[in-house]
Structures are given as C-alpha cells and as structure tokens.
Amino acid sequence: MKNIRKRQSPISADSIARSADKGQDVSRFFTNKGKMMRPIQRVNVDFSSPMLEELDRTAEEMNISRQAVIKTLIRYALDQGYLARRGRTGSRRS
C-alpha cells in the first residue's frame, strides 16, 4: 500500500504574523518564489447604457469578462499616457 501524505492547508498570513510577533522563526513560509501582490481595492464606476453595451459586445468578441475588458483598456490608456509624458520630457533635451 502506498504512503499517502495529506497536504496541509495553507497557513494564513495572520497566523504567520502572530507567530512572528511571538518571536518564532517564520522564514520557512517565505520562499522568494512569488510576487508581492498589493491589496485590491474595489471602486464603483458609472457607465451609460450604450457604453455598457459596447463593453459587453467587446467582452463577448474577446471571450473575456467585462471586468477584464475594462482593466485592459484602462491599463492601455495609462501606458499610453506614460509614454506620451516620457516622450515630451525626452524630446526637450539640448
């Protein structure tokens, strides 16, 4: 018969923090393999009906969620703004 090891459920960040507060070694929980994710903040945005319909059509065409379309378009606009600002400051060098 095979030895089957039960997987331990992940330990919450709160319980790791409590252990650290007690002075216990918590280094085993940190592998430096992951990427630090900032907390997500929810926002409410009002859209007109025609804009929502357009977003929904785009989402359906791309086979992704409406939220993914909104995030993608906002990321694109922010990147374009960054590149435009960078281009203006870079062209003024003498």
Tens of pLDDT along 36-55? 778 888 999 999 999 999 99
Label residue 63 left, alpha or beta by phi (over 0 means left) and psi (-120 to 50 means alpha): left
83 in Cβ contact with 76 (< 8 Å): no
Report helix, strand and coil shares of the chain as percent, to nearest 5. Answer: 55, 0, 45
Give the model's pLDDT for residue 81.
93
Structure tokens at 49: 């009906």
Give the model's pLDDT for residue 94.
46
pTM of this structure: 0.54
Report the alpha-carbon distance of residue 76 to residue 56 in Å, rounded: 18
Angle at 80 between CA 78 and CA 81, to 5 degrees: 65
Q: Does residue 74 register a pLDDT over 90?
A: yes
pLDDT-derived band at 62 (thresholds 50, 70, 90) equals very high
Mean pLDDT of the chain: 86
